[in-house]
Copies of this chain bind each other. A is one copy, B any other.
């Protein structure tokens, strides 16, 4: 079962990532690169995109990277820095890079950029590896 198989399985049933409109660009072991388009319903009350949208997008990239060896991993602690405001119509790209792949835990850096290659947010995630499978071999 390849990392791409695992992520395709995850994304298929991931209702919120589908609401966000997330599309896969590249999946490798411990790595993911995804994109999405920002829509009007993602705005906050200050006229810019809600911080939760950028976080959610990065968190999906994190999940797709840290689970794709088919070792079910859950987020323990995550943080995000907001560098630049995001606007309606922006196309965002998130790239998740594995900084540490431990037996019980893993650490990932996710960078979100916009269509002008500007960094809009920096995310760091620590996950706990449960040892369970994300998807069964036979499926």
**What's the number of copies of this chain in the assembled complex?**
4
Q: Which residues of B contact A57 (CB under 8 A)?
A: 52
Is A81's CB under 8 angstroms from B52's CB?
Answer: no
Partner of A77, one of B46, B63, B79: B79
Whether A91 is near chain B, meaning CB under 8 Å from some CB there, is no
Whether A80 is near chain B, meaning CB under 8 Å from some CB there, is yes
Per DSSP, chain A at the interface is mixed
In chain B, what residue has the closest Cβ to A72?
B46
Is A104's CB under 8 angstroms from B77's CB?
Answer: no
Whether A122 is near chain B, meaning CB under 8 Å from some CB there, is yes
Whether A107 is near chain B, meaning CB under 8 Å from some CB there, is yes
Q: How far is the CB of A78 from chain B (nearest CB, A)?
A: 6
Is A14's CB under 8 angstroms from B44's CB?
Answer: yes
Is A46's CB under 8 angstroms from B134's CB?
Answer: yes
CA separation between A22 and B60, bound complex, in Å?
Answer: 22
